[in-house]
Amino acid sequence: MRFTVRNIAKNDSLRMEMAPDADSSDVARAAAEHWGMDGFIMRNGYYLVPEGTKLREHVSDGDTIDLLSDPRNYL
């Protein structure tokens, strides 16, 4: 499946292609490598994408996934 990952903090986006059975943590890991940041909360529209779940459960082709900095990393 193909989708866009948008980093809200950096106002930047990245097109990704992953297998539907990939974990959402794979997206977070790839984004961390690309942007040099750790600790994201993923959101698809109004819904959070839980870490470690399969992409096919929360993401469809053409979706835009927003990455928000996890505030728990600052505590």
pLDDT digits (tens, 9 = 90+) for 8-63: 988 999 999 999 899 998 998 898 899 888 788 899 999 999 988 999 999 999 99
For 69, the token pair is 């900095």
Q: Which alpha helices (DSSP H) does 1-75 contain, by range?
A: 24-35
Q: Which domains does the chain have, with CATH numbers?
A: 2-74 (3.10.20.90)
Nearest Cα neighbor of 31 from 56, 45, 49, 47 is: 49
- pLDDT higher for 16 or 71? 16
Say if CB 27 and CB 42 are below 8 A apart.
yes
Q: What is the pLDDT of residue 73?
A: 64
Q: What is the pLDDT of residue 39?
A: 80
Alpha-carbon distance values, 12 to 15, 18, 32, 61 (Å): 11, 19, 13, 20
Q: What is the pLDDT of residue 2?
A: 95
